[in-house]
Structure 1
Amino acid sequence: MSRRDQLPPLNPTRVFEATGRLLSVTKAADELCVTPAAVSRQVRALEVFLDVKLFNRIHGRLELTPAGARYLADITPLFAALLAATRSVQSSIGNRALLRIRSPATFAVRWLIPRLAGFHQANPTIEVQLSTSSAPLDLKHEDVDAGVQLGDGSWPETHSQQLIANLLVPVTSPSYQRATQLVRSEQLQQEVLLHTMARPDDWALWFEAVGLDTARAYSGMKYETSLLAYQAAIEGHGVAIAQKSLVAKELADGTLVTPIPFELDCGKHTYYFVWSTRRPQPPALSAFCAWLLNVDW
């Protein structure tokens, strides 16, 4: 069997996921209860297996390579699903409720997963099984109780609850801003723009709002998901247009900066939590909706 047909070693992959998510060997070591040296060895073992470099260290900071960013985006939902499957099996023993939720990967990785620990702490008898997909929700036929959907919140036979505001801001790495001296909106017409194919008009909307010619707003690099576009911005490949709530952590810790601090409120087109009006609402789903109303955006 060729290496391409083999699963990667699980422990090094788990260590890489933690290191890539935290962008810190020390923090990953603390989370996994091992030494930083052990983290470095496991990451190196995975790089040898994949024959791909996953990280660069630039000015003392750990950054994902493009290949590392893609791999992290792909495996993060898998680890979430593995955890959910484990909890689902465990919940079959004892009096626990199972709540099945589907979400786009970008929202799951950047907003939902970091906050789910708070729900589990408040609701220890409810197990959340999280899956990811960019396809529209089909609550009539899918084996899920509810999900997260991008749109205007108006879908037939559903309840919807807005999750984040649709505030668009340009973001890039500090190193890219320093190199380009980017401080004025008109400079963006000469910069590399990073786009999300699921939201192709975001840059054009922002350009129009600041009085720039929108013809240039569609050029640049295009990525399948916002998750990849944001990672490309972190790596210094250009300037992404981001939903502010989904990059709040990076803006707070300085991994990303807003070179032009104009925020465009695009109204209702954002992420919503959606569930069916045609089914009884189980207590676990009611508890999750109530938690969402109070969770920090």
Structure 2
Amino acid sequence: MSHPLPPLNPLRAFEVAARLCSLTKAAEELHVSQVAVSRQVKVLEDYMGVVLFYRQHRGIELTREGLELYRGVKNAFKEISDASRRVSRRGRKDVLSIQSYTTFSQRWLIPRLADFNARNDLLEVKLSSSLKPADFDSGNVDAAIRAGRGEWSDLHAEKLVDIELIPVVSAALQASAGIKTVRDLSRVRLLHSMARSSDWQHWLAAYGDTVEDKASVQFESSALAYEAASTGMGCAIAVKMFVEKQLESGEFLAPFPETLKTGEAYYLVWPKGTPPSDALLRFLEWMRGVMQTQTPAAPAAGEEGTPPARVLDSLG
């Protein structure tokens, strides 16, 4: 038959007083009076039939029996505290680690992330950026935003939105260059993103025309190419969803009404064979909802009331 446990409240008061070597400090930690701590310790001493502290003028000191008891209960209370912290969900946030492209993060995800946080206050999103495929084996990434055709044998891929390309220029550059035909692009710099190095090639091939690209400028990311375009440096080939606000505001103009679907799309991916967490499913549902409510915007340069942009499908 197991020995009955001592009363827990007096035991807790004893553990704190022994750890701090002070009844006064123990009272402060437990948010009670010093008299209450003293009374609880006396209850425990009476229960066990031993003296646990020597009461001295300037404090307390453990007796031999008190020291032996303290060595046991301090570990017990620590284990109880640790176990409670592991089990309890009170005040705890789930953490969802997402890897994304820099431009996708800057131009689409970050401006909308506050909405997701407001709807999921107990879910913390950790966002990292890289052009490299996510290293799921490291355990540091739960899911990733990836561009492609969804043909990854080792990944579960949920399609988010098709990639549509559209050339954009600043209003100032359009006013000075007067771009009306594809060949007029030869008069301005073409701004390229090294992260999406084939976009201009695909768009021009779809039009069946050629453009002299002697003064082009290459940027590490699409976000940098868009920034350069906004200053009037040249014409950038943009993923439409990333420049819609600037098209709506008039900061960017679209010299041509057509957009080009490349056959690629953005996907949310995670390893096959790994069931998605509730947090990941909530993130996916939120992204799909926002994608569906996006309003297309691609007004032709210098024209008001222009019909919605036509969409060309890449033969590739």
CA contact (8 A) 2:98 2:126 kept: yes
CA deviation map 1:199-231 (0-9, x unaligned)? 1121111111112126x3586111010000000
Aligned residue identity for 1:240: A
CA contact (8 A) 2:189 2:217 kept: yes
CA contact (8 A) 2:157 2:267 kept: yes
Superposed, 1:173-188 pairs within 5 Å as 173-188=170-185
1:193 Cα deviation (Å)?
0.3
Superposed, 1:263-278 pairs within 5 Å as 263-267=259-263, 269-278=264-273
CA contact (8 A) 1:97 1:125 kept: yes
Matched position secondary structure for 2:162: coil
Provide the residue aligned with 1:108 in structure 2: 105
> Which has the higher mean CA deviation after the structures are superposed, 92-101 or 277-286?
92-101
| 1:128 counterpart = 2:125 | yes
Q: Structure 2: which 5+ runs fail to align?
A: 1-88, 295-316
Q: Distance in 2 between matches of 1:220 and 1:142?
A: 40
Provide the residue aligned with 1:143 in structure 2: 140
1:289 to 260, 284, 291: 284
2:258 to 245, 262, 265: 262
Provide the residue aligned with 2:60 in structure 1: none
Matched position secondary structure for 2:137: coil
Q: Distance in 1 between matches of 2:149 and 2:135?
A: 16
CA contact (8 A) 2:143 2:270 kept: yes
Identical residues among aligned pairs (%): 39
CA contact (8 A) 1:203 1:218 kept: no
Q: Distance in 2 between matches of 1:280 and 1:231?
A: 39
1:256–1:158 CA distance, 2 compared to 1 (3 A): same
Bigger relative contact order, structure 1 or 2, given CA contacts below 8 A and separation 6+? 1
CA contact (8 A) 1:204 1:218 kept: no
1:152 Cα deviation (Å)?
1.8
Q: Distance in 1 between matches of 2:202 and 2:288?
A: 29
CA contact (8 A) 1:233 1:239 kept: yes
CA deviation map 1:165-195 (0-9, x unaligned)? 2111110100000011112222112321000
Q: Distance in 1 between matches of 2:215 and 2:231?
A: 19
Q: Distance in 2 between matches of 1:218 and 1:151?
A: 29
Equivalent pairs, count: 204
CA contact (8 A) 1:203 1:217 kept: no
1:211 to 208, 216, 241: 208
1:245 to 238, 241, 245: 241
CA deviation map 1:117-165 (0-9, x unaligned)? 1211221111111111121222223511111112222212211122332
Q: Distance in 1 between matches of 2:134 and 2:215?
A: 30
CA deviation map 1:76-122 (0-9, x unaligned)? xxxxxxxxxxxxxxxx9713211111111110000111111121122
| 1:152 counterpart = 2:166 | no
Q: Distance in 1 between matches of 2:101 and 2:157?
A: 16
| 1:232 counterpart = 2:228 | yes
1:199 to 172, 196, 201: 196
1:218–1:246 CA distance, 2 compared to 1 (3 A): farther
Provide the residue aligned with 1:161 in structure 2: 158
Over alpha carbons, which structure has the higher Rg?
2
Matched position secondary structure for 1:198: helix
